Structure 1
Amino acid sequence: MTPVKTLLEIPELRMRLRTGSALLGREISRIYVTELPDPSRYVSAGEVVLTGLLWWREPGDADPFVAALARAGVAALAASGADSEGIPDDVVRACAQHRIPLLEVPADLSFAVVTERVVLALAADRGREPSGARKRLLSTADAPLPVLLRQGAQELGTGCWVLSGTGRVVGGTSPEAPPVEWFNPGRERTVHDEYTLLPIGGRFRVPWILAVRSPETDDLTDELAGLISLARARADQVRRMADRAAEPLFAALAAGSGDLTAAFTSSGRTDPARVVVARAPEDGAEFATELLAELLAEASASIGVLGEDAYAIAEADEHWPPEWASIARDRLSTVEHLVDLSRVFVGVSGPATVDGLRGATQEALHAVEVAARRGDRVGVVAGEDIAVHHLLVAGAPDELRRSVRERVLGTLLAYDAAQGTDLVRTVRVFLECSSSPTAAAKALHVHVNTLRYRITRASELLGLDLNDFPTQVDVYLALQA
């Protein structure tokens, strides 16, 4: 077996012990990379947890993270300093308190190199000298996913693809990828015709799947899946770091004030842009963020969290598909068949310049509310598909809407309540029928003269001319409020 102290003895790693010298005899089972503030769902006994400390923002953040490792029985924590100052004292203290050995990884050392050396050390101690193919595959551990897949295909002698649980082809050695629907989530691996599909492990809820054009696989296939898992974790880490540049932009949107133009420019975004909002009421903002990252993987976007919702500012360039809402809906439906997906709602605004970004945010939020009210478990709504008057009313504060409704319709509402009539409904149907007495009378199943009398009476009570177009607009907006 491989004890923790072995890692300190590997010259290439240049690791330094920060705390836990009495605990170096703990045995290592595997290595796992994470940047989650709460990794408790994904870590297990005997693991060396490798982290770049992206989850650490201020003193106090370390204790819940390290406590989760201790509860899981993790063998050690290997960390690279969050900045030039190295590992924060808060992290060192938490590891000492919870009895977790802390190894400092040099800032210039790639996590892929750490992973490769640890995997080789574990294999050697288990009496399995890695084959030449395995060593060649491990040598590409730090490479981009396309390079990793090409090397995997070369060593396996067959085609390889990575499929997202949304149905997106993340990468592959040829365009003819098998559909993700062939994958059976209830099995460790699925054989379909001449293909084998197996899940790529990791902390993510939306799965990635490795597809190999062969009905038979060996340990090298599992090794490739493990390296792809690390590649995904690295890519997610890079995305999170890039998203930090947009944090002032999301803060300005949340506050409704501040220099939005400066924040927009510093985020690296260019206009026109679209706002996309994802809401997962049962699963929270972290899962909604993961879904947005998958849905916008082919777009240039920054993702952040405001409250319980995940927000994205995406470039609305010529590459943005006009049917994006339909595509997103299909991809979420695909995920729904692979994982236990609770309710998820997504809203997307139309394109907007930086001056219209706050309005676009309100548009996307209203689209999310519309999706939620439809009653489906998964819904995607584009603001461009919602009538303009609905968007205008939705953007008004509740107090203003109540005030407008009372000022415009108050006398009519009071009359209906006192007399048991329904003139408010009559006015609504009349306006929705383009002010046609004949069409409105037919919709209400009354004689046209009765309809005209009711509209005249409503006009008298309101003190307004319901045949005047600007007045009709005011009354209809009040009805929508």
Structure 2
Amino acid sequence: MGRIAKDGRVPSANLTASPVGLPVRDVLEASSLTGARVLAGDTGLDRVVQRLNVMEVPDILPWVKPHELLLTTGYPLRHYPSSLVDLVRDLDERGLAALAVKPHRYLDGLPADVLAEADRRGFPIIEVTAEIGFDDILNDVLSALLHRQASVLARSDEVHRALVGVVLEGGDLSDLAAELTRIFGGPVVVTTPDGRVIAGADALPDLQSTGCFDPTGRFRVDEEPTGVRPHSGGFHTTVPVVAGRIDHGRIVAFSASPLDAADVYSLERAATVAALAVTKQLAIDAVEGKYRADFLRDLLTGRVEDVPTAVAHARTLGWDVERPLVAVVAELDPAHETGTVPELRPVQERFATAWQSVVRWRDARAPVVNFNQEVVVLLGLPGPHASADMIERAVNDLVRQVVGDGGGGRRSFSLGISRPALTAQELPRAYEQARKAVRIGRRLHGDGARASFDRLGVHRLLSLIPDTSELRGFVEEVLGELAADTPENADLRRTLAVLLETNCTVAEAARRLHFHYNTLRYRITKLEKLVGPFTDDAALRLDLALALRVLEIRGL
């Protein structure tokens, strides 16, 4: 059975994109820096300047901040020119943008090893002409920074107003994605937390070559942290859609060149509007989903007396249940993780949404509802004479798309498949078969099991016996004292099961159980005292095998 990655934590809204500021190359265009030249580190001219600082003391490190342009005359270092290499290294590691120096007055020049270190790190060192005062530089650059930040805010506000207008006019996520595509000039998609595209899917065929999507069309959330990242042929920017601590998904914008800080900030504002649209849609879906689930539950549990009227009502909901169908029941496996942060948005809700999204593309008329602990799908048969293999292949294809290839926010689940139901009257029977299949499959194979009712073998026959007391009586009659629920009995029952599976071949059973030959002989003697001479009685072996199967699937 397919297994699903663990649910992820709510993503941080902090981005790795360039912060709001000016690149060093743009700072150099300030009038007060006319005549300044880059001595070293010219590969770092795209570093962003957000603030300025003046170095007045040798131990400046406690007072510097990331994205600073540090100005100095060299006076604090006049007695320690050899420490400049360490200074360049420390400033770079603290995320400073550049170092601007006025040499020749207190420093004869910058040593070659200092310039080599700056080149190696891509840390710009700028020589400022002696006649320019630091106050002029501070005034010019700070004015440019304020103008830049004001422009960013203005553009972000414009984008925000446009998107809020879309929502107020009744637009959904698809309308938001279309508006963002218009604003940014490149494809924009909105995804669920595990990467399933829920808006902007029309652009997917053109985006598959970027390598950002798996073969099922799911955005690779695990491999794509928020921020600006390159891909084959361009760049994409990812921002989380978060309301409070609830992760609603991602907005991903694609472009030929990296979006600048203003665009990224606008996308963050757009994510807030998207969270509003998602929350609104969730409220609508919750009401509609409960109504649909209640109706289908009544139909599948046999509480509908007038089936033709129910079939007609199903058509008004967009469902066709008057055709050959197969019931599929999917249940999330119990979470075994400890110490993780619980998610506020129910995982079951996401699980149901995933199935609805996948099934919609294959069979738009198929009902898909969330019954709290299980997702139920009534899937149209792949053909009028579909075999069990054809049905399993169709379901496996759906499972592959639900699972994807390693997105986040998902858990393993078990699944059961019914026999075909040729009429609506047979749907209650099909639903019960699928429920039995998922329950028996999990008992036999553990979490992540997938079972078809037609392939359960003897377990199918045992599951059809409704009288639990009769089954319990059979188990106690056949196993006797061995039926008691104790650790020692459980160990002996395991030994008995392996002996029956190997047709009482002692050497093979000992190998499977990792027992010494004589140890297994002793256990056989003990077992025959409890249940009878099963090594010589074929009928008794059959009874014992059936009793063990009953315990296995019914847990009696």
The alignment's TM-score, normalised by the length of structure 2, stands at 0.47
Alpha-carbon offset, residue 218 of structure 1: 5.2
Alpha-carbon offset, residue 351 of structure 1: 3.9
Please say if 1:225 is aligned against 2:274. no
Give the counterpart letter for 2:480 in structure 1: G
2:509 aligns to what? 440
Q: Which has the higher relative contact order, 1 or 2, with Cα contacts under 8 A spaced 6 or more apart?
A: 2
Give unmatched runs, 5+ long, in structure 1. 1-125, 337-343
Cα distance, 1:441–1:280 mapped onto 2, change above 3 Å: closer
Alpha-carbon offset, residue 287 of structure 1: 3.6
The separation in 1 between residues aligned to 2:354 and 2:490, in whole angstroms, is 53
Please say if 1:200 is aligned against 2:241. yes
1:23 aligns to what? none
The separation in 2 between residues aligned to 1:459 and 1:427, in whole angstroms, is 10
Contact 1:276 1:311 in 2 (8 A): yes
Query: Secondary structure at the residue paired with 2:303?
Result: coil
2:473 aligns to what? 403
1:249 aligns to what? 296
The separation in 1 between residues aligned to 2:161 and 2:291, in whole angstroms, is 36
Cα distance, 1:467–1:290 mapped onto 2, change above 3 Å: same
Please say if 1:274 is aligned against 2:346. no
Please say if 1:315 is aligned against 2:379. yes
Contact 1:295 1:328 in 2 (8 A): yes
1:258 to 284, 287, 303: 303
The separation in 1 between residues aligned to 2:156 and 2:508, in whole angstroms, is 84
Structure number with bigger Rg = 2
Contact 1:137 1:151 in 2 (8 A): no
1:362 aligns to what? 436
2:165 aligns to what? 138
CA shift digits 1:185-218 (9 cap, x unpaired): xxxx522222211112347945310011243215
The separation in 2 between residues aligned to 1:295 and 1:425, in whole angstroms, is 38
Matches within 5 A, 1:72-471: 131=158, 135=162, 138-139=165-166, 142-172=170-200, 173-175=203-205, 176=207, 178=212, 179-184=220-225, 189-193=226-230, 194-202=235-243, 205-213=246-254, 214-216=258-260, 217=263, 220-240=266-286, 241-250=288-297, 258-259=303-304, 262=307, 265=311, 266-267=313-314, 268=319, 270=321, 271-278=325-332, 286-299=346-359, 300-306=366-372, 309-315=373-379, 317-318=381-382, 320-325=394-399, 327-329=401-403, 334-335=408-409, 344=411, 346-352=413-419, 353=421, 354=427, 355-367=429-441, 380-384=448-452, 388-389=457-458, 399=469, 401-410=471-480, 424-434=493-503, 436=505, 439-440=508-509, 442-443=511-512, 445-446=516-517, 460=532, 465-466=537-538, 471=543
The separation in 2 between residues aligned to 1:225 and 1:333, in whole angstroms, is 20
Give unmatched runs, 5+ long, in structure 2. 1-152, 213-219, 336-341, 360-365, 383-392, 422-426
Between 347-356 and 233-242, the greater mean CA deviation after superposition: 233-242
The separation in 1 between residues aligned to 2:403 and 2:509, in whole angstroms, is 36
Cα distance, 1:459–1:433 mapped onto 2, change above 3 Å: same
The alignment's TM-score, normalised by the length of structure 1, stands at 0.53
The separation in 2 between residues aligned to 1:454 and 1:391, in whole angstroms, is 32
- How many residue pairs match? The answer is 333
Cα distance, 1:380–1:293 mapped onto 2, change above 3 Å: farther
Alpha-carbon offset, residue 153 of structure 1: 0.8
Alpha-carbon offset, residue 139 of structure 1: 4.4
The separation in 2 between residues aligned to 1:207 and 1:129, in whole angstroms, is 21
Alpha-carbon offset, residue 274 of structure 1: 0.8
Contact 2:222 2:408 in 1 (8 A): yes
